[in-house]
Amino acid sequence: MTDRQTSERLVAAKALCRVETGGYAGAVLDQALEQSGLEPRQRALATRLVYGVTSCKYRLDEAVDRLCGGRPLSVQVRTILRLGLYQLSFCDGIPASAAVNETVKLAGPLRQIGATGLCNAVLRRFLREGKPLYEGEDLSVRYSVEPWIAKLWQKRYGGDTCRALLEAFAGEFPTFVRVNTQKTTAPALLARWRAAGRVPDLPGFAEGLFHVQDLSSQYCALALGAKPGERVIDFCAAPGGKSFTLAQMMGDEGELLACDLQGYKAALIAEGAQRLGLSAVRAQVHDARQPLPGGEADRILCDVPCSGLGVMGKKPDLRYKRRDEVKDLPSLQLDILKNAAEHLRVGGELVYSTCTLNPAENQGVFGKFLRDDGRFVRVPIEPACPGAVKEEETLTLFPHKTGTDGFFMAKCRRVK
């Protein structure tokens, strides 16, 4: 199987099969592409297929089960059919004949040669019928999310907002970068990109002229309001974007302690800070639930581990997170927040944030923290992000309103 299109499909199919046995799409795909030898354009298509199929798996499966009469299918055969249906439904640049013929050929390398006829018949039947993929009223199927997520958003935000959110997460999310203001300016960097004629290649990365960071987390760093000369702690810092932005806001003057539980993540933060030339950033391996030596901080960022429902547009595996996988998160988040707050000086300020849209992890955790500890009071966060929703002095960023990831942030000050 040496033709370009088949090799792309084979890489994608094998990656998708591994995801079904417990791998994460991003990590599995990265490893597969590294070992594939595919050229850039081939890698792009393989990436689109893996992320696309993962993002609409439930919707594809509804069609697969309907067309196959509910018969049991191996992981490999189901993957082949998902790939074929995805191409026929969403890849306008791929001729239908290629989508069917080249995808059916995957049965051989995936050791499903006996299913070649079935795969061919199912895909051609789909073409003959001319019916779109599921467009019914079951939101969990139509938008490929676990049912509890759709029900949660319907109950908390209402039907219209729930649909708008799911529709937004079905679309594409842009990649944002932040200019390193210690080295250059936005106009200067844009001029360099234009002169290079290859904006997608982003010249200047190796020189530390920018770092990749979604707008939502940039607004979060802005909300903390770090100033030159202060001592700032970022308790759950990986991958480091907020720490880098905070250090730039500080003019690289003072101390910014960027902590993470995993050693390799702390090393990546240190590497990023070095590339950006930010000497104020000090990366450290630390469990955010434990006391941190070194004295009190002027400001603290507590961007806690969460269910990630606000970033499932970029990380499609999160669409299928089960309720029991997130039920213990608020307890963990509260433990981290309480511990972090102990390191704040009187008069200092703390921002609590998540990249999820789950009230139990957001307003629920922050509200309980304030009720339990009278030393802290709410501080209003002005919605610098256009479209952000303000509620009880907290901010929620909804992708369909802000064009960012889904995000939550709240702020408090220690008064005694």
d(CA 378, CA 270): 32
Residue 201 among known ligand-binding residues: no
- Find the largest Cα–Cα distance for the chain: 73
Q: Is the dihedral of CA 79, 83, 84, 90 positive or negative?
A: positive
In a 13 Å sphere around the CA of 272, the CA atoms on its Cβ side amount to 24
Q: Which two tokens stand for residue 68?
A: 């196959």
d(CA 151, CA 159): 9
Cβ neighbours of 292 (radius 10 Å): 18
The residues annotated as belonging to the active site are 355
Residue 240 among known ligand-binding residues: yes
d(CA 351, CA 2): 53
> Pick from 233, 231, 285: which is nearest to 254 by CA?
231
Residue 266 among known ligand-binding residues: no
Do the strands 407-414 and 344-354 form a parallel or antiparallel pair, or are they unpaired? antiparallel
Residue 265 among known ligand-binding residues: no
Residue 15 among known ligand-binding residues: no
> Pick from 139, 107, 143: which is nearest to 122 by CA?
107
d(CA 164, CA 159): 9
Q: Which two tokens stand for residue 63?
A: 């069609």
Residue 236 among known ligand-binding residues: yes
SS3 assignment for 209-225: CEEECCHHHHHHHHHHC
Q: What angle do CA 390, 396, 402 make, to 5 degrees?
A: 100
Residue 242 among known ligand-binding residues: yes
Residue 239 among known ligand-binding residues: yes
Q: Which two tokens stand for residue 276?
A: 């950006």
> Pick from 14, 119, 20: which is nearest to 64 by CA?
119
Residue 287 among known ligand-binding residues: yes
> What are the counts of helices (DSSP H) followed by strands (DSSP E) for the chain?
18, 11
> Pick from 229, 141, 218, 224: which is nearest to 181 by CA?
218
**Taking the CA atoms of the chain, what radius of gyration do you get in angstroms?**
24
User: Is residue 307 within 8 Å of 318, Cβ to Cβ?
Assistant: yes
Contacts of 382 (CB under 8 A, 6+ apart): none
Residue 313 among known ligand-binding residues: no
Going by the annotation, the residues of the binding site are 236-242, 260, 287, 303
Going by the annotation, the residues of the binding site for S-adenosyl-L-methionine are 236-242, 260, 287, 303
